Structure 1
Amino acid sequence: MILFGSPSLIPYVSALRLARKYKVRLIWDIRDLWPLTLIELAGKSKYHPLILLHQWVENLACRKSDYIVSNWPFAIHHLEKHGADQEKFAWIPNGFYPEEFNEQEALPDSIVQRLPVDKFIVGYTGTLGQANAIQTLLDTAKLTQADPNIHYVLVGSGRLEQAVHEFVQINELDNITLIGSIPKKQIPAMLSVFDVCYVGFVKSALYRYGSSLHKLPEYFMSGKPILYAIDSPFKPVDDAEAGITVPAEDPAAIVQGIYQLQALTPEQRHTMGENGRKAALEGYEYGMLARKLEAIMFGPI
């Protein structure tokens, strides 16, 4: 068995030759849809020489791989256009270790003292980048600036970190607290402070094949409702009844979602949170995902 990541010409051809020589299974593991991501998110022409070469390799991998696994649930709808067999595809999402929540680390006093008290907190943890639609969340905060009960906490760093700080200062947004990156062991403690966990995506046709969000299992395990802003047929938060999904890059819709969750009783929000925990343990726990991959690696095709 040979497990192979995103294909590039020489490594993939070498892996293919080895698989055929030793008569072992060649499994292609897709973390991102290349070259489609470069076309859809980076705006590259599909006729660019590098894109054409990458597409040729993807076509080869679709036809020759014995099995394809991906953390994109609907990736097969793209891959079968390039020769993949739907019967030889499996979705294995990004997962988590339950121990991360059992062995969590408390937040230091220097952070706790900066967090708002008696506010309805909409929180985000992760990269401050364009793909995460951070600007949309800032615009949302601006729309609710006059509401003293709503507060936003952004945890993380990234390419847009400076731009985020400048936007907050220029617009005098006192309803946003910016926390830099924190150790991973402190993430569960931070999530426990939130009333709603927010995640956003940019508008892109790429998401017609789903999404592969690393933080989703953590958000599920937080036990808090999730506000999921995306344009995609893949709606894991709705499916789990663990929050609500709103359109991507639509601050007004996000505001409406925030107020919709705020209007729920604590018991209703707790139920959503418990639904999320259940979804995490049943569908995203690494042990379960490893057994699924093991069956693909060594089971019959």
Structure 2
Amino acid sequence: MSPRVWIVNQFANTPDVPGHIRQYELGQFLAKQGCQVNVFASDYNLTQRQYLKLKFPQLWHLENFEGLQWNWLYAVPYQVNNWRRYVNMVSFCLTLFLIGLLKPKPDLIIGSSPQLLAAFTAWILAKLRGATFYFEVRDLWPQVLIELGGKSPNSLIVRVLAGIEGLLYRESDRIIVLASGLVDYISKRGAVEVIWLPNGPDVEQFQVELPIEQAKAQYHIDLKRICLMYTGAHGTANSLQTIVEAARILDQSYPDRFQILLVGDGPEKAQLIEQAAGIQCLEFRPPIPKAEIPKLLKAADGLILTLKDIPLFRYGVSPNKLYDAYAAGKPVVVAVGGTLNQEVEVHQVGFTAEPENAKGLTQAMIQLAQTPPEEREAMGKRGQALVSSTYSRTKVAEKLWALIQEEL
């Protein structure tokens, strides 16, 4: 009998909408191995801040998407990261629990953070339905609330989430982490088995035969300028203010030399646009479907990744946008610090700066612009080799399937 696998992640997406598609790609691979795969995600799209499938008063929409049973679930909407965000999370869990009780019994449930309450609800369903449970740690909650959100470690919400976190570490049949730096962290907190399965792209999707000149023309980018691009969420964690301030410096020192694009959406976008008033080399563009990202990246001379300067991000992140840049064969400019900066430097795939350091980021951008095109191309090829050896989504999926076969 085909294994029934449920994948739960509130923020999972299909490739036709903006956002990460790890659950879609892993689910696709498992379905091709003969698994019956259900994905459970919120219909309220985090990037676009709107419902995509549901019409009031629907709680659930089931879509057969390329062999996957995709369950779009209701969650209360929110626009900014205030108390409504927590209502959104709890409402998703309630819908998940109700629908999870009605569907046929699964053999394995994979509960994925950063929404820790959703992973906890998935664990409860696994216990009630007699299923194996894997906990996938994408972001380290509640630590991120302390370091990024400024919450006190003694606050009620942090203590509740810390209790749930510890329970999931101890009670899950396996823990999957995306950042290698989390293996030791979680093992010391009672986890029986911790497996590193990083983020990474589907390499085949990035095999786009599109010369940079044609790509720039298609996306209305000046051929004479160095185009540096950021694609993804515009939130507090992403520290895009650093890019804005670096662009201001470049605008004054190197007029008409750079074209910097911030592509995406999020709660900080309006504030960023206001901050960037008068900067000529900086342009904000709306989010695009994930399926179009490989083509868009071909128009860039380099790709940017910035994050806030907090200890967690120095060892505990595995950003899709960085590995997409590698797969696209583009050099990178990374201002994160820790393991990510080290990786870029060791493998010679781009330039680095310390996080939230606009002057340092500016210097890294200038270094990339002054690098001869043939060396930038060599950096891109080294990034592609790194994807093939370490971050290929196919290799990650094969490791996950081997775990499932061993378990079931």
TM-score after normalising by structure 2: 0.65
Give, in angstroms, the shift of residue 138 of structure 1: 0.4
Counterparts in 2 of 1:227 and 1:276: CA distance versus 1, 3 Å: same
Structure 1: state its 5+ residue gaps: none
Give, in angstroms, the shift of residue 287 of structure 1: 1.7
- The one of 123, 126, 134 aligned to 1:12: 123
Give, in angstroms, the shift of residue 75 of structure 1: 1.2
Alpha-carbon distance in structure 2 between the residues aligned to 1:14 and 1:166: 45
Counterparts in 2 of 1:102 and 1:269: CA distance versus 1, 3 Å: closer
Asked if 1:159 is matched to 2:232, the reply is: no
- The one of 21, 33, 38 aligned to 2:145: 38
Q: What amino acid does structure 1 have at the position aligned with 2:135? A: W
Asked if 1:222 is matched to 2:328, the reply is: yes
Counterparts in 2 of 1:180 and 1:295: CA distance versus 1, 3 Å: same
Asked if 1:209 is matched to 2:320, the reply is: no
Alpha-carbon distance in structure 2 between the residues aligned to 1:192 and 1:110: 8
User: May I ask how many residue pairs the two structures share in their alignment?
Assistant: 292
Alpha-carbon distance in structure 1 between the residues aligned to 2:400 and 2:196: 10
Are 1:122 and 1:150, in contact at CA under 8 Å, matched by a contact in 2?
A: yes
Give matches, 1:117-136, under 5 Å: 117-136=223-242
Give, in angstroms, the shift of residue 63 of structure 1: 2.2
- The one of 195, 207, 212 aligned to 1:90: 195
Are 2:140 and 2:316, in contact at CA under 8 Å, matched by a contact in 1?
A: no
Q: Percent identity?
A: 28
Alpha-carbon distance in structure 2 between the residues aligned to 1:288 and 1:242: 21
Give, in angstroms, the shift of residue 70 of structure 1: 1.1
TM-score after normalising by structure 1: 0.86
- The one of 281, 287, 294 aligned to 1:188: 294
Give, in angstroms, the shift of residue 110 of structure 1: 11
- In structure 2, the residue matched to 1:255 is 362
Counterparts in 2 of 1:14 and 1:221: CA distance versus 1, 3 Å: closer
Counterparts in 2 of 1:256 and 1:105: CA distance versus 1, 3 Å: closer
Counterparts in 2 of 1:163 and 1:260: CA distance versus 1, 3 Å: same
1:34-78: CA deviation from partner (whole Å, max 9, x where unpaired): 221222211222222232222122222222333211112211233
Q: What amino acid does structure 1 have at the position aligned with 2:315? A: Y
Partner-residue secondary structure (3-state), 1:215: helix
Asked if 1:275 is matched to 2:382, the reply is: yes
Root mean square deviation, CA, Å: 2.8
Counterparts in 2 of 1:295 and 1:45: CA distance versus 1, 3 Å: same
Give, in angstroms, the shift of residue 248 of structure 1: 0.4
Give, in angstroms, the shift of residue 104 of structure 1: 8.3
Give, in angstroms, the shift of residue 14 of structure 1: 4.9
Alpha-carbon distance in structure 1 between the residues aligned to 2:263 and 2:315: 28
Q: What amino acid does structure 1 have at the position aligned with 2:269? A: E
Compare 37-46 and 75-84 and name the one that shifted more: 75-84
Partner-residue secondary structure (3-state), 1:298: helix
Alpha-carbon distance in structure 1 between the residues aligned to 2:121 and 2:286: 40
Alpha-carbon distance in structure 1 between the residues aligned to 2:372 and 2:211: 27
Give, in angstroms, the shift of residue 17 of structure 1: 6.5
Alpha-carbon distance in structure 2 between the residues aligned to 1:244 and 1:209: 18
- The one of 187, 194, 205 aligned to 1:80: 187
Give, in angstroms, the shift of residue 158 of structure 1: 1.8
- In structure 2, the residue matched to 1:246 is 353
- The one of 25, 41, 57 aligned to 2:164: 57
Compare 76-85 and 55-64 and name the one that shifted more: 76-85
Counterparts in 2 of 1:118 and 1:203: CA distance versus 1, 3 Å: same
Partner-residue secondary structure (3-state), 2:402: helix
Give, in angstroms, the shift of residue 164 of structure 1: 2.5
Partner-residue secondary structure (3-state), 2:230: strand
Counterparts in 2 of 1:57 and 1:210: CA distance versus 1, 3 Å: closer
Are 2:211 and 2:298, in contact at CA under 8 Å, matched by a contact in 1?
A: no
Q: What amino acid does structure 1 have at the position aligned with 2:307? A: F
Structure 2: state its 5+ residue gaps: 1-106
Asked if 1:198 is matched to 2:309, the reply is: no
Q: What amino acid does structure 2 have at the position aligned with 1:209? A: Y
Give, in angstroms, the shift of residue 10 of structure 1: 5.6
Counterparts in 2 of 1:46 and 1:259: CA distance versus 1, 3 Å: same
Counterparts in 2 of 1:106 and 1:154: CA distance versus 1, 3 Å: farther
Give, in angstroms, the shift of residue 213 of structure 1: 0.9
Counterparts in 2 of 1:239 and 1:25: CA distance versus 1, 3 Å: farther
